[in-house]
Amino acid sequence: MLIIPVSLQIFSRYTQLIPAYIWTEEMARFLFIWMVMIGAMVGVREGSHFEVDVWPELGAKASAALQLAAGVFILLFAFVFLWAGWEFTRFAWNRVSELADLPLWMIHVAWPVTGLTWLVFQSERMGDAAMVLAGRAQPKAEAKHLEAAE
C-alpha cells in the first residue's frame, strides 16, 4: 500500500504525465505510521525485538525470571501507549487531515491498538515464562536471529 502514494509522488515530481498530487505525501506518512505500529505488534508477539545479552548463559528458571522482570516494563510501556493513545485518538476524533481529508482518528487509533495488542501478547509471553518458573512447562526455543554469524 505504501508504494502507491510514494510512486505517484515520485512520478508526478519528475514527469508531466500525471498531475502533482498533494495528498500523496500525507497518505504515505499515515501508511508508514501504521506499518511501524503493525511491525511493533508482531515484534512483541514473536519476541523478535532486539535484545542485548549482558548476563552469562542462564538456566531455564533464571531466564524465565529475567523474562518476567523485563516483561513488566513492556507492560508498563503498553499501558502508556493504550492510555495516551486513547487521549490522542479522542483529541483527533472530529478532525480531518488537511490534504487527504481523512478522519484523523483513523491514524491516531494506531497507538491504542498497538498498546492493547502489546498487553495481550506480552501477557501471553509472561504466562509462558511463569509456567517455566513454576516448573510446569519446558522453555520454548527462542529464535536467535543473529546466531548465524557464529
Find where cell 519446558 sits: 138
Q: How far is the C-alpha of 109 from the C-alpha of 93, rounded, in Å? A: 10
Q: pLDDT confidence of 40, banded at 50, 70, 90?
A: very high
Closest CA to 113 of 136, 89, 130, 133: 89
Q: How far is the C-alpha of 53 from the C-alpha of 127, rounded, in Å? A: 22
Q: How far is the C-alpha of 84 from the C-alpha of 118, rounded, in Å? A: 14
Provide the grid cell at 50: 532486539
Q: pLDDT confidence of 78, banded at 50, 70, 90?
A: very high
Is 111:85 a contact under the CB 8 Å cutoff? yes
Average pLDDT of the chain is: 86
The answer, yes or no, to whether residue 143 has pLDDT greater than 60, is no
In this structure, of 74-88, 109-123, 128-142, the range with the lowest mean pLDDT score is 128-142
pLDDT at position 145 is: 43
Percentage of residues of the chain with pLDDT beyond 70: 91
Higher-scoring residue by pLDDT: 50, 103: 103
DSSP letters, 122-137, are HHHHHHHHHHHHHTSS
pLDDT at position 36 is: 95
* pLDDT, tens digit, 9 for 90 and up, residues 4-15: 888 888 887 787
Q: How far is the C-alpha of 68 from the C-alpha of 66, rounded, in Å? A: 5
Closest CA to 122 of 52, 57, 67: 67
